Structure 1
Amino acid sequence: MDAYVIGNVAIDETLAVSAMPTPGASILGTAQSRDLGGKGANQAIVMARCGLRTHLVAGVGEDLRGDLVRQRLSAEPVIRHLVPIAGRSTDFSIILTTLDGENAIVTTTDCAQDLDVAQCVAALEDAQPGDLAVLQGNLTNAVTRGVLEAARSRRMVTAFNPSPLRPFFDDLWSLVDIGFLNEGETAALTDATGEQAARKLLAMGVKAVVLTFGRDGALLATDDRLIRIPAVGCPVVDTTGAGDTFMATALASAALRGTALDHAAIEHASKASAITVSRQGTQSAFPTVEELAAILDR
């Protein structure tokens, strides 16, 4: 099985702050790291480190950040389909993180927004029935819908993380097999929480829903089961990339075992994301190939 992650790649600049700024405030910060990020790249890297054959489709500018993206990705076991976007700066994120590990992120999506449907669908040419198509919220409505429809026509399994939130997401759920959402995304999209929110999403056509609640664990819901899985206790240093680690590990765990998402996949995801939040940075905070092999017992 292959996974095709269609999304964004960015350079993350992390600043440590004593508290999040209020409107109109000027605050001091300390530079912490410059790292490879972007939700698409994050998920692709973790899935590939899990041992799943993983493709990344993303747009990059022809600039110094683009060169850094290519350099960092070349060290990862990811099959790269990087689309050069002329006249655009490579996407980047400014991440503010506090002493208790919480963060706020501002991300540019110029390159991600300039990808077109044909470029993304072309990368699925060799995809087989049962392969994974993995998307997030950084692409346009036309591209997101076009890729989901193309994946469905190829009988791929579609997984979607609606982050960052966009107004058009309500119309996509019938094309999604597996949805991954955190508490904020869940409340915004369903006006509900917990099991009630999961049932609303299932009623929209999603086959499986995974809701994450940080320290309160996660919920896996399908039409015939609800499974709650506790979080793994750990020191929290930086939560950047934790959700991407969780989603990627859960999908890879199930795919590598040839099964649907189950209790084991969510447990594996919880263990992997606990490693990520205990470290500073994005790519550099992800579990290593060896750590993921131990978690997955491979």
Structure 2
Amino acid sequence: MRAYVIGNVAIDETISVLSMPEAGASILGREETRDLGGKGANQAVVMGRTGLSTTLVAAVGEDFRAQTIRDQLAGEAVDARLVGHSNRSSDFSIIFTTPDGENAIVTTTASAEALTLAEALAPLKDAAAGDLVVLQGNLSESVTRGILAEARRRGLTTAFNPSPLRPYFAELWPLIDIAFLNKGEAESLTGSSGETALHRLAEAGVAQTVLTLGGAGAILASGSQVLTTVAALATEVVDTTGAGDTFMAVALASAALRGTTLDTRAVRHATAAAAITVSRRGTRSAFPSKAELTGILAGE
């Protein structure tokens, strides 16, 4: 099985601040890290480190950030299909992080939104039925809809993380097999919370849903039936950047590598991996290593 992660790639610049800036305020900060990021790249890198065959499809500009992106991906177990757009700037994120580990992120999407449907679908010519197509919310509406429709037509398994939120996402559920949402995303897209939100997603056609609740853990549902609730692991929270991407990537990879649908074991593996990510600063540099993930995936 192969995972095709079609999304964005960016350079993350993390700035440590004592508190989040308010409108009109000028505050002092300290640059903590400059790292590879973007939700698509994050998920692909973590999947590659689990040992799952992974292809990343993303657009970049032709600038200094693009070269940094290429250099950092070259060190990962990812087949990076980067599409260059000479008239665009490579995407980047400014991440404000506070001493308690919380963050606020501003991300540019010029390159991600420039990816055309033809460019996005080109690597799928080699995909086989049952392979994973993994999407997030950074691509244009037409490309997102087109990828999901083509994946469904070809019998590929679709996994979707609706972040950053877009109003039309609620129309996509019939094309999605697996959804990963946090509490806020679930409430925005279903008008409900907790198990009620899971029931509404099942009614809309989603086969499996994972609802992440931060420190309160995660809930896995198959259709409208709750399969498991897994508690978060106690750990020192240093920086939550990329934790959700780590969770989603490891949950999908755990199940795929064992040839099964999402189960309690996959969610436990994802929870353990996310606990490592939040205990470190940065994005790619905070992700569990290949050795750490091998150890996690060997456990129950």
Name the TM-score, length of structure 2 as normaliser. Answer: 0.98
Specify the alignment match of 2:239 in structure 1. 238
Q: SS of the counterpart of 2:31?
A: strand
Specify the alignment match of 2:146 in structure 1. 146
Specify the alignment match of 1:279 in structure 2. 280
Cα deviation digits, residues 1-23 of structure 1 (max 9, x gap): 00000000000000000001111
> What's the offset of the Cα at 1:222?
1.4
> What's the offset of the Cα at 1:110?
0.2
Q: Which amino acid aligns with 2:20?
A: M
Alignment of 1:112-261 (within 5 A): 112-223=112-223, 225-226=225-226, 227-261=228-262
Aligned partners of 2:60, 2:180: CA distance in 1, in Å? 26
Q: Percent identity among equivalent residues?
A: 60
Aligned partners of 2:212, 2:131: CA distance in 1, in Å? 24
Contact 2:11–2:93 (CA<8 Å) still a contact in 1?
yes
Q: Which amino acid aligns with 1:295?
A: I
Q: Which amino acid aligns with 1:237?
A: V
Aligned partners of 1:266, 1:212: CA distance in 2, in Å? 10
Specify the alignment match of 1:12 in structure 2. 12
Specify the alignment match of 1:90 in structure 2. 90
> What's the offset of the Cα at 1:162?
0.2
Alignment of 1:41-52 (within 5 A): 41-52=41-52
Aligned partners of 1:229, 1:127: CA distance in 2, in Å? 32
Q: Which amino acid aligns with 1:132?
A: L
Q: Which amino acid aligns with 2:95?
A: I
Cα deviation digits, residues 255-295 of structure 1 (max 9, x gap): 00000000000000000000000000000000000000000
Cα deviation digits, residues 49-75 of structure 1 (max 9, x gap): 000000000001100000000000000
Specify the alignment match of 1:30 in structure 2. 30
Cα deviation digits, residues 202-246 of structure 1 (max 9, x gap): 111110110000110000011263111111111000000000000
Q: Which amino acid aligns with 2:153?
A: S
Aligned partners of 1:23, 1:224: CA distance in 2, in Å? 42
Aligned partners of 2:80, 2:95: CA distance in 1, in Å? 25
> What's the offset of the Cα at 1:26?
1.0
Change (3 A) 1:191 1:288: same
Q: Which amino acid aligns with 1:87?
A: N
Specify the alignment match of 2:294 in structure 1. 293
Q: Which amino acid aligns with 1:292?
A: L
Q: Which amino acid aligns with 1:253?
A: S
Specify the alignment match of 1:270 in structure 2. 271
Aligned partners of 1:167, 1:213: CA distance in 2, in Å? 22
Q: Which amino acid aligns with 1:72?
A: Q
Aligned partners of 2:126, 2:267: CA distance in 1, in Å? 29
Aligned partners of 1:85, 1:109: CA distance in 2, in Å? 13
